[in-house]
Structure 1
Amino acid sequence: MIEVEGLTKRYGDKVAVNNLSFTVRPGIVTGFLGPNGAGKSTTMRMMLGLDRPTAGDVRIDGTHYDRLKDPLTYIGALLDAKAVHGGRSAYNHLLCLAQSNGIPRARVDEVLDTVGLTAVARKKAKGFSLGMGQRLGIAGALLGDPRILMFDEPVNGLDPEGIHWIRTLMKSLAAQGRTVFVSSHLMSEMALTAEHLVVIGQGRLLADTSMADFIARNSRSFVRIRTPQRERLLDLLRGAGLTVVESGSGVLEADGGTSEQIGELAARHQIVLHELSPQQASLEEAFMRLTAESVEYHAHSDRPPQQERQAWGEDWAGRG
């Protein structure tokens, strides 16, 4: 378990992390989300004692990181896959880590096999591709067989097979009762991997909730309907108290009722339905909506910023 309480980090006048509190629990994959500059990397570095907090506290299974004996056996982390001596082989890199943490030499071969690097174990790390470097970093995190694992952008540089592999690995580690904390900008992958989310913006906590609740609270859900008796169904739905909009191409979007309720209503009035499907926003859409005011670095279109924000807001208003 990782416990973060009142964590704050200032760099001069800049507040990178602002009174952040949350708990990362075992048995599930917890996703850590936020726009660029939100303070995610700073928070993870403070968890590992790489940066000293201005205020607040972090405990790893109830203990400060700097008081852990052989820390790799408690928490394994991948923060920067490039933090490897390029002149060392993958095997020797892991062997150095193992020897400094009292980990048996045999464990090096085990993790190399786990991440698929056995065939290149004796090759120098400087010749590795980005994806191979990621796998080596993950091997280092797994080396001490820790109860807690922390990954920052673990799918960087991985091919589709590698992405599927790391997703399956994180889920299996959580299923073993381990604590798994992962930060990523790849929303589609996070939606398939994480069960719980911690979301921050400008150093502040924005959400600490389950994946399902996060999407439900920060997006619009509706039922999409197609029928050749559109006008009749439209009158019935509005008469039943549902909010219905016509979205073009003969499609109706109904808010305030379930697909089951709408289907039963149509059946009672002998209305033919060609489509009846519940719709919900993706994690990416929900994330964008929640963090819109917390984005520090904006790309700009040809429109002035005020028009861009207005158009974005109108787009969401049209959806909601």
Structure 2
Amino acid sequence: MIEVEGLTKRYGEKVAVNGLTFTVRPGIVTGFLGPNGAGKSTTMRMMLGLDRPTAGDVRIDGRHYARLRDPLKYIGALLDAKAVHGGRTAFNHLLCLAQSNGIPTSRVREVLDTVGLTAVARQKAKGFSLGMGQRLGIAGALLGDPRILMFDEPVNGLDPEGIHWIRTLMKSLAAQGRTVFVSSHLMSEMALTADHLVVIGQGRLLADLSMPDFIARNSRAYIRIRTPQPERLRDVLHGAGVTVVETGDGAFEVEGGKPEPIGELAAEHRIVLHELSPRQASLEEAFMRLTAESVEYHSRSGPPPQQWGDGWRKG
């Protein structure tokens, strides 16, 4: 379990993390979301003792990270897959980590096999592709067989097979009762992986909810209906006290409710339906709605400003 209480980090006048309080519990995959600049990386670094909080506290299974003996046996983390000495082989990189934490050499071979790098174990890390480096970083996180795992952008550089593999791995680790905390900008992947979400914006906590509750609270749920008899259906629904919004092409939207009563009403009046489906926003849409006011960097659409000059356009 990871317990974060009142966590704050200031860099001069800038407040990167502002009074965060949440708990990452075992047995589920907890997703950590926020726009660029929200303070996610700073928060994860403070969890691992890499940055010192200005205020607040972080405890790993009840203890501060700095007081953990052989910390890799308690918490494994992937924050930056590039943080590897390029002149070391994959095996030797993991061996150094293992020896510093009292982990047997046999475990190095086990995790290399787990992440699929056994065949390149004696190759130097500087020759690894982005995806191979990512797998090596994941191997390092798994090395101590810890009860708590943290992953920052774990699918970065992985091919589709690798993405499916890491998704399955994280779910299996949680199913074993471990604490799994993962940060990612890929909403489609997070929607398939996370059970619970912690969302921050501008350093503040915006949400700490289960995945279904987060989407339900930050999106519009409705029923879409399409029929070749729109006038009849509209009259029947109005007569039953159902408010509809016409969207064109014989389609309607009904806020809330369930599709079954509408289908039964249409059948009773012999109205043909081509579509009757409940709709809800995706995780990405719900996230964008919640964090709209917390985005620090906004992209500009359309052509570049004229004053940037011809040199910019030719670049």
TM-score, with length taken from structure 1: 0.93
Residue matched to 1:282: 282
Cα contact 1:152–1:182 (8 A) shared by 2: yes
Residue matched to 1:38: 38
**CA, structure 1 residues 83+230, in 2 after alignment: closer, same or farther (shift >3 Å)?**
same
Residue matched to 2:26: 26
Distance in 2, matches of 1:183 and 1:232, equals 50
Cα contact 2:174–2:180 (8 A) shared by 1: yes
Between 195-204 and 246-255, the greater mean CA deviation after superposition:
246-255
Distance in 2, matches of 1:175 and 1:272, equals 45
1:113-144 Cα deviation digits (max 9, x unpaired) = 00000000000000000000000000000000
Cα contact 2:95–2:105 (8 A) shared by 1: yes
For 1:1-320, list aligned pairs within 5 A: 1-302=1-302
Residue matched to 1:310: none
Q: Helix, strand or coil for the counterpart of 2:301?
A: coil
Q: Which runs of 5+ in 1 are unaligned?
A: 305-320
Distance in 1, matches of 2:94 and 2:161, equals 24
Give me the identity figure in percent: 87
Q: State the Cα RMSD in Å.
A: 1.2
Code of the aligned partner of 2:174: A
Aligned residues: 304
Q: Helix, strand or coil for the counterpart of 1:199?
A: strand
Between 219-228 and 87-96, the greater mean CA deviation after superposition:
219-228
Q: Helix, strand or coil for the counterpart of 2:84?
A: coil
Code of the aligned partner of 2:49: G
TM-score, with length taken from structure 2: 0.94
Q: Helix, strand or coil for the counterpart of 1:281?
A: coil
Residue 235 of structure 1, CA deviation: 2.2
1:145-189 Cα deviation digits (max 9, x unpaired) = 000000000000000000000000000000000000000000000
Residue 303 of structure 1, CA deviation: 9.1
Cα contact 2:27–2:176 (8 A) shared by 1: yes
Distance in 1, matches of 2:132 and 2:212, equals 33
Code of the aligned partner of 2:187: M
Residue 302 of structure 1, CA deviation: 3.2
